[in-house]
Amino acid sequence: MNPNPTFAFVTVGSGSYIGSTVRDLTLANALHRRGFKVVVYWMLECNPNLVADGIPQRMLCHGTRYQFRRPSEFLDRIIGWLLFRIPLHHRTRFVQRLGDDYIDRLLQNLIRSLYESREADAALSRRLHNYTLADGVSHLMMSFGAIGPLAQAAKKNKGSSFDYAVTFQGDEEFANYARRAGLLPQYHQRLNEVIQDSRWPGIVISHDYLDRLTEDMGLDKMRLRVIYNGIDLPEQNEKPPFSILKTVFPHLNRELAMVSYVGRQESEKGIDLLLYAAKLLKSREIPLQLVICGSTAKGQAYQKVIESLTDHLGLAIHHASTVTPEVRDALYAHSRCVVCPSVNREPFGLVAAEAMGRGTPVIVPDYGGITEVIRDGEKAGGLTFKTWDSGDLARQIERMLTNHALYRELSDNTRTIAARFSAERMTDAVLEHLGLYPAQNLSCTALGV
């Protein structure tokens, strides 16, 4: 066992995977706080503000690398380098204007480069190998199983001295790109090879997602291990000032119950279901104000759908795109409940954990890994609704707004349940998984038990 490990995190900085990036960098920052040497390698895009001071960062590749079917060193190292002189918010706005097709093309070409041949983007794997040598990396942490072939190929280069670990946290989306490219069998086979060649079983972020990976992708269950994601819990229970919210949502009424959605504004997140539920509650004269905010990496199309739906349904909502962490935390703290209406089988639920960490109950679909986040034995920090059923979602929101005894019970449980998913517990679990931490000091909860 390496007495002085150095961790490198390879993470995809695209907005579509912001939840995964937050998870990776929460872990990276926690390891850094404990005195470990950590470095971050970005793919496609970067979010440097998420990285703690003192952690070195490198661009492994820019999104321009995958503009065409074959990876382009010129577009990556020259054009990409020039484009990245432009500030991040301007780059993000430009990419969003290009729409869904642009991001989809980049990601599909990325998957082609890793699975169409056994070379796994040979030039990029050599670059990764050289980075690990320069930084003295002993533990290479791959944010997705899908990009694991890069680590597998880099490790075969002469002089490599690292082992790699992969985390599965949204790889079904990459599987869709593999399917469109006619590479799904190769994708499944290569993923199994990646986890077999790793020194450690792959990390999976919920039990439901473990079942999904083994059933849908044929991965070896014995080579996978559940470790729940972690969040940075607030240091104190005091609510942030309501005035913070007024800077983004000037017409919010402090006296009226807020129902909030925080997350990516994309079709699989089910925001339309929430709007239909709000319309039903309006017809029942249930008073509330609806807040919707969050990023998007796939253009403004779905945000325009939200605006069109609200107009058609005669709803008045408080709508914004990306908000600062301060506004997000204030929104969690002052909301009556936070709703995650996803129509996707969510592997986990960072937003649900974050909201409960602020003392706010949540409402989530009744399937997927997200259901594991809101319960601890008989205790619950929220309610579930029948997936895809806006009528049942309306009923659960109404219960949250009108059943005060139920609300108090759920609210009293939230912080205790959220503490199960602290960044420190996740870090303990990962260190134990890698053989760097005494197992007897580890909480079972962190390990998904």
* pLDDT single digits (tens) 410-429: 999 999 999 999 999 999 99
pLDDT tens-digit profile of 41-92?
A: 999 999 999 999 999 999 999 999 999 999 999 999 999 999 999 998 888 7
pLDDT of residue 420: 95
- 377 and 428 part of one domain: no
Please indicate, yes or no, whether residues 156 and 266 belong to a single structural domain of this protein: no
Quick one: average pLDDT of 174-185? 95
Task: Give Cα 436 to chain centroid, integer Å.
Answer: 25
Burial class (CB in 10 A: 0-12, 13-18, 19+), 105: middle
Beta-strand relationship, 224-226 and 202-204: parallel
Dump pLDDT digits (tens) for 8-40: 999 998 766 788 999 999 999 999 999 999 999
- DSSP string across 277-333: HHHHHHHTT---EEEEE---SS-SHHHHHHHHHHHHHT--EEE-S---HHHHHHHHH
Give the count of beta carbons closer than 10 Å to the beta carbon of residue 234.
Answer: 18
Domain count across the chain:
2
Check residue 334 and give its pLDDT: 97
The predicted structure's pLDDT at residue 449: 54
- Name which of 427, 395, 40 is nearest 232 in CA terms: 427
Six-digit token string for 175: 């599987």
Tell me: do 250 and 322 sit in the same domain. yes
Same domain, 413 and 364: yes
Same domain, 22 and 75: yes
- Residue 383 C-beta-side C-alpha neighbours within 13 Å: 21
| 73 plus 16 within the same structural domain | yes
Nearest-angstrom CA–CA distance, 168 and 184: 17
In-domain check, residue 235: no
Q: What is the pLDDT of residues 210-246, one digit of tens each?
A: 999 999 999 999 999 999 999 999 987 789 999 999 9
Residue 190 falls within a domain, yes or no? yes
Nearest alpha carbon to residue 27 among 129, 142, 195, 172: 142
Answer yes or no: do 332 and 185 share one domain.
no
In a domain, 275, yes or no: yes
- Decide if 238 contacts 316 (C-beta within 8 A): no
Residue 361 sits at φ, ψ, to 5 deg, of: -65, 160
**Cβ pair 359, 414 in contact under 8 A:** yes
Residue 24 counted as domain residue? yes
Closest CA to 135 of 236, 57, 46: 57
Looking at the domain assignment, is residue 237 inside a domain?
no
Mean pLDDT, the chain, integer: 92
Do 225 and 159 lie in a common domain?
yes
Please report, as a single letter, which amino acid is at residue 118.
R
Distance CA 418, CA 375 (A): 9
Question: Is residue 293 exposed (0-12), middle (13-18) or buried (19+ Cβ within 10 Å)?
Answer: buried
Strands 258-262 and 289-293: parallel
Task: Kindly report the CATH number assigned to the domain that includes residue 213.
Answer: 3.40.50.2000
Any domain includes 114: yes
Q: Which of 415, 10, 5, 26 is nearest to 227 (CA)?
A: 26
Question: Is 345 a member of any domain?
Answer: yes
Q: Do 275 and 381 belong together in one domain? A: yes
User: Same domain for 23 and 148?
Assistant: yes
pLDDT at 439 over 50: no
**Inside any domain, residue 238:** no
Query: How much of the chain exceeds pLDDT 90, in percent?
Result: 83
Whether 222 and 303 map to the same domain: the answer is: no
pTM above 0.85, yes or no: yes
Identify any residues that bridge with 166 across adjacent strands, giving them in sequence order. Answer: 142
Exposed e or buried b per residue across 40-74, where buried means at least 16 C-beta atoms within 10 angstroms of its C-beta: bbbbbbbbeebbeeebeebbbbbbbbbbeeebbee
Range of the domain at 148: 6-230+422-447
Q: What angle do CA 315, 317, 318 make, to 5 degrees?
A: 170
Q: Do 198 and 251 belong to one domain?
A: no
